Structure 1
Amino acid sequence: MLYSLKSRLIIAFVLLFVLSFGVMTLLLFKESRAIIRSYVESSALEKMDEYGSFIDMAQSQMYDFSSLVFNSDLTHRWELTITDPNLSPGEKSLANITFSRFLTQTTNNYSIVSSVFIYREDGLRIGMNNEVAFDPSFKEEAWYRDFKERSVRWVPAHLDPYSQQYYNKPVISLLMPIGQFEPALAKTVMKVNISSAYLLDPLNRIHLGESGTIFLLNELLGPMLSQAEYGQHADKTELIEKLSGERQKQGVEYTSGQAKGDDIVVYKKLGRTDWMLVGFVSEVDLYGKLYTLRDSIVTFAILLFLVSVFIAIWLSHGITRPLTRLVLAMRHVQRGDFAGAEERIPTVRSVKSEVSFVTMTFRKMVGQLRSHIQTEFELKLLRQQAEYKALLMQINPHFLFNTLELMSSLAMQKRTDDTVDVIESLGKMLRFSLRISDDVIRLKEELNYVQDYLSILEVRFGDKLHVTMEADEGLEKVMIIKFILQPLIENAVKYSFRQSPKAIVHIRISRHNGQLRLSVSDNGPGMPEELLVKLKDQSVSVQLDQMLTSRSREIGLGNVLARCRLYYGELFDLHIESVPGEGTVIELILPIREEHAHVPSIDRG
């Protein structure tokens, strides 16, 4: 009983599935948690490095702005004028207006600065746009007292009542003395404001888990930006103070949280000032989905084990040996060896069970499959040839329609010579088009066809059309499929006139690494991104149903791509370069085949 197939399958499932799956789940969970933790740490520190560089850049610009104003000769002359008791009020008022204009001009040169104000102890306030006022109430502001008493130069996000006429949102300010380096002795203070959103928006794009937050703290460990959520982490104040006093510039700390797991604190000190970036995230936030996945895996494992035991009991009796031979036969079918597969399928004289029925059915299926594949291969070749002929016929009426419209217009204008030239060129094109049996022609014939087409366009557009053609030597006898250059040239001319009153088209035919490259460039408006993607997809897969049933007049390029893919298969490639407003370059890449040579069907993919 113990050695029966059913018993051995059950024991094997218990040992292999339960033990191995349980150990694998445990290791996977621990490894996943370690990987996520490592990734979050490295990613957070990397993002903090990037943001720290951004803060350094913003501070540098503000210091540059302040230095420019501080060291300006105009600032020095204004300071001397204001403090000179011998000058009249009118002269001082004119100096204030001149200095305000200087502040306006300087601010306009720094996009980061939203506003700037100059404050004097006597109550004088000078802003941008000729703003001059006497209002000593700013002396009662906290930022002014902190600057004079404690030399605090940076003011966290706040609403500046004087700058709201320029920017009615919270700002961050840099305070600089004018005329003195010591804030306590300075009689004049410059307040440079930038939008807090300028620093806050990039910070909000840095994520820690689902709900983790990063805060920008100043040298007093207070939030610099409008982040009221920082108060929710008041229990981490001691840890932040400890980290700010250490020599280590960045790192990750784990603290005990109120919920399951630990709270993670990621920090980085900024180099230019004593500011810090501090991020808080809980392990529950980071690994919540991982815990849910672990519970789901355990539940699924139990259910799957019970189902597997039941299936093992049900299927164990009498199926191992015939199934093994069927598997061997299937492997031969997978390799395409149908004869070898039929030799390994067990012989069934009568159907007594489902296994014998499957065996007999599989034998019949292998024989039918071999016959069907052979038949389908032949039909596919015939169908491919028919589809190619249909695409070839599709493009000729399009040429004829456009040319007849031109001839009608010339006749109405009584331009007899031009009409004769067009008729002669059209006749050559029609004689060439009616050679339906010639799918592949010499490149020289295709170029002659293109020249006839271009002669018609030159009559139609005159000096407004400029077409140049450049071809490498020795390519006249190269064989290509017909009618693949003219549709590209037609599209190039049409779209160039949409962009400019003069169409400039350049045709380039070259040999490179055993490939023929046919390139057509124009000065049109370029292609939108969605059209580029559509054309590239169309060059990879032949959408014959859409192409053959399309009623659109603009089928030329799609027709060319479909025929090239049908004939050359994987040997065909398409390159498109398009710049909006400048033009498009379409390049067909074909295998080089000399005269009387064809692309074998096995090479077409």
Structure 2
Amino acid sequence: MRKVIKIINDIPLFKKIFSIFFIFVFIPLLILSSQFISQIDFYINDKLHSQLENASNMTISNFKKAIELAINLAYTIYSDPRVIETVNTRYMSVEEFYDAYEKNIKPILQNARILYPQISQITIYCDNPTILNADGLAFLTDEYKKFLQKGEKEGKNLYVLSGLENEKPYVSIVLNLNFYEQYVPKYQQSTIKKFLRIDLNRVYLNSILSTFKDGHIFIADEKDTVYFSDLLYYNQVGRLSDLLKEEKNQTIVFEKLLSTELPYFENWRYIVTTNNNGISKRLLEHQRNYLAIVVLCFVLAFFALFLIINSVVSRLSLLARHIKKARKQQFESINIEAGKDEIGQVIEEFNIMAQKIKELLEKEIKYELRQKELALEKKQAEINALQSQINPHFLFNTLETIRMRSMLKKEFETANAIKLLAKLLKRSIRWENDLITIEEEVSAIYDYLEIQKYRFGEKLKFEVEVEEDVKSTKIPKMTIQPLVENACVHGIENSKGEGRILVKVFKEGDMIAIHVEDNGKGLEDDKITELLRFVKGLSSDKASSVGLKNVFRRLELFYDKDFSFDILRGELGGLKVVIKIPNKRDFEDAVQSVDS
């Protein structure tokens, strides 16, 4: 083992790294790539088949809808009493028959031909000897009794027949018109046989199948005769095998029973084919793209590896030469772009070690001086903090003295206003926690509004509505009070009549909604937009609305983008500020981020 390690250590670094790359990277990846290509081919082939199936299902769905509409029309005629009345009546004259036909049969058939392009012909056959052949109505001859006999034999009321008639192919929906004979006493004794035949418009239905652009769809009966396909011309049918021979390079992707979609088409099936060349071309294209990417990646990897090895070897060689000089007390800095990798760090450390002792001492002295400066700054900050505690105490004591004097003079209203002012000042100076409950915030709002009421008198009316469920929820301090203050300053002060302020806090889904509204003069829409832009930091020309901007900024620090802030026209006539914040949130991280 030691001999092996010695041999490895004697090999130059350049050769070792390239040998490892070729043996353990290049060759395994080459093998894996070939396997991966085969898997990719399978995946692409499966995906193409899936796409073809989805596309063909959409086309068959449209085909199905067209057939179902024709079947619905058949049932509509089937249940129409006018039709049954006409074919069951024994007519005494030709005029009587044509009157009934013109009134009951002809309008139905004409409307159906206009509204249903998937239908080429509608005919009612019956063996009533008193009727005459007309458009859509014919006497039931022996030639057409086969249409009725199939249903009677199999006990079916609605079925599909196909074949050739006068050397022209047809696919017909046949419906036995026996509805009234079963359920209406008037016709239960009728012996007239009658059925409805709807010939499907194969040209129109073939045009639906032609919307499938990735191949062809063939719909064939139980005898393998194709009646519907985008490859069929007018009045053309053919064997499936013959059509596939004529259309070269077609592969059957899948085939399914049409009866799963349309139950009346028993033993019919639809076959989906696609072009072999198209699939092969796509697979070959993907293989070429993948091989090109693999080759490009190997070339780039080889080139990058060469650059990295060259960078490593050249810097290590240079470092080795300078270390040899250091043995001879020749401390020279390595003046190259060493970089920030491990070798660059080693070179940087070597340059630091080569510096003179005087430079090291200077750094140590500067460090000590900096530590002393920081200590002095810390002490000065402590002294300033103590001094900041003195002034508020003096202010509170003074206010308390004025309040007591007012009480002695029986100026109770003034004394109460001073008391509320002192509470507000204590709250703003002694910040303590960044988060308070909504109940605490609302308490401060009451204090502020009572002070304003002392100022404005009966001119100011206010309402504060807070749902019980949200009172214990914590929000950032000074969220609502600046909004109320803004309403007083900009809404009530400029108002000549009675001023109203409405504050609402309530749950709205997963959010807490805060509404602050006044009945001041308000602003024009463009001014509101300009104010909202200033509050959100998009402009800087509204110095008088700093309070709103500070509220928005604090909400942004706490909630990031999980809140909304809007300024609207209020129902009271003034402005309305609407804030929505999350109802539940762990604020510990948010508070720390604001403090930092």
Q: TM-score, normalised by structure 2?
A: 0.47
Q: Higher relative contact order at CA 8 Å, sep ≥6: structure 1 or structure 2? A: 1
Rg: which structure is higher? Answer: 2
